[in-house]
Amino acid sequence: MPAIVELREVSVRRAGRTILGPLDLTVRDGERWVVLGPNGSGKTTLLSVASMNLWPTTGTVEVLGERYGRTDARELRRRVGFAGSAIEAAMRPDLTPTTLIMTARHGAFEPWWHVYDDADRDRARELGERMGLAGHLDQAFGTLSAGERRRTSIARALMPDPDVLILDEPMASLDLAARELLIGDLEALAREPRLRALILVSHHLEEIPAGFGHALVLREGRVLAAGPSQDVLTDDVLTGAFSMPLTVEGHDGRWTARMRRDP
């Protein structure tokens, strides 16, 4: 299987400190990865590099066989859908989900001078409905609930029909029901062969959708473990990552973790 996302010896330095790496990551065709780690362990930085929104201090980034920096980054970035709270913060509160989803076709946030036709609008509404936004598509973004905003940003990421989808904490601040519904939607996306690779950041093992067969655990910017989920999501790895004795269990492709209280 060819590599879809390949990071080699990537590191990111900020304010005189290495906040990520050096690390390697290879995501192959068809793989679905979850990235776990405590607050500040570098998850968002890793996704920013992999989605080509951040230039690493060292190392190389290859996506879909093209080297970041050697080809037209705008064109390559269009093939990578990215959603997360950073993107939502850039969305104008008075625009509707339909407009915000539709404008992703040109990588824009506002209609500006781009020309959109009925097919673009129909596709935006179809994606919005598929992400559970029926009934909210003409409501101002600023009046949506956290879950509806998250669904808007994921539908937006899907608008250009990307080959790669990268999601930063899609379940953050959702209530239990919204979380479970979104997990179901992500499981459906994970089954779509059209998406060559999917990378998801999460804080909680409970949020990992079934079908995510690979995991990477970060601690202080370094890879503590990476590979098939059943090898990575273990008591030892998670205990090391979070500096707390943890017991991990997997059932039907879903996971739980809790503190181990020794008698």
Q: CA separation (Å) from 178 to 21, 46, 181, 187?
A: 34, 26, 5, 14
147 CA to centre of own chain? 15
From the list 5, 2, 17, the residue with the least C-alpha distance to 221 is: 17
- What minimum distance in Å lies between the beta carbon of 73 and ligand ADP? 20
- For residues 100 and 156, is the Cβ–Cβ distance under 8 A? yes
- What minimum distance in Å lies between the beta carbon of 195 and ligand ADP? 23
Overall residue count recorded for the chain in this entry: 263
For residue 50, give every residue at least 6 positions away whose Cβ sits within 8 Å of its Cβ, in sequence order, or none. Answer: 5, 7, 25, 61, 63, 166, 199
Footprint of ligand ADP on 180-219 (CB under 6 A): none
Q: Which amino acid is at 18?
A: T
- For residues 168 and 85, is the Cβ–Cβ distance under 8 A? yes
170 binds, among ligand ADP, Mg ion, none (CB under 5 to 8 A by kind): none
Footprint of ligand ADP on 29-68 (CB under 6 A): 37, 39-45
- For residues 221 and 41, is the Cβ–Cβ distance under 8 A? yes
The residue from 15, 90, 176, 177 that contacts ligand ADP (CB under 6 A) is 15
- Compute the Cα dihedral for 66, 232, 225, 246 and give only its sign: positive
Q: Which is nearer to ligand ADP, 49 or 197 (CB)?
A: 49
- What minimum distance in Å lies between the beta carbon of 42 and ligand ADP? 4
Q: Give the binding-site size for ligand ADP (rule: CB under 6 A).
A: 11
User: Residue 4 phi/psi, 5° resolution?
Assistant: -100, -40
Stretch that binds ligand ADP, among 12-20, 26-34, 64-72, 136-144 (CB under 6 A): 12-20
Interstrand relation of 32-36 and 197-201 (parallel, antiparallel or unpaired): parallel
The residue from 13, 14, 114, 258 that contacts ligand ADP (CB under 6 A) is 14
Q: Which is nearer to Mg ion, 38 or 160 (CB)?
A: 38
Is 44 an interacting residue with respect to Mg ion (CB under 5 A)? yes
Q: Which is nearer to Mg ion, 40 or 111 (CB)?
A: 40
229 binds, among ligand ADP, Mg ion, none (CB under 5 to 8 A by kind): none
The residue from 19, 34, 154, 178 that contacts ligand ADP (CB under 6 A) is 19
Q: Which is nearer to Mg ion, 80 or 133 (CB)?
A: 80
152 binds, among Mg ion, ligand ADP, none (CB under 5 to 8 A by kind): none
- What minimum distance in Å lies between the beta carbon of 19 and ligand ADP? 3
Q: Which amino acid is at 182?
A: L
User: Residue 104 phi/psi, 5° resolution?
Assistant: -65, -20
User: Which residues make up the interface to ligand ADP (CB under 6 A)?
Assistant: 14-15, 19, 37, 39-45
The footprint of Mg ion (CB under 5 A) covers 43-44
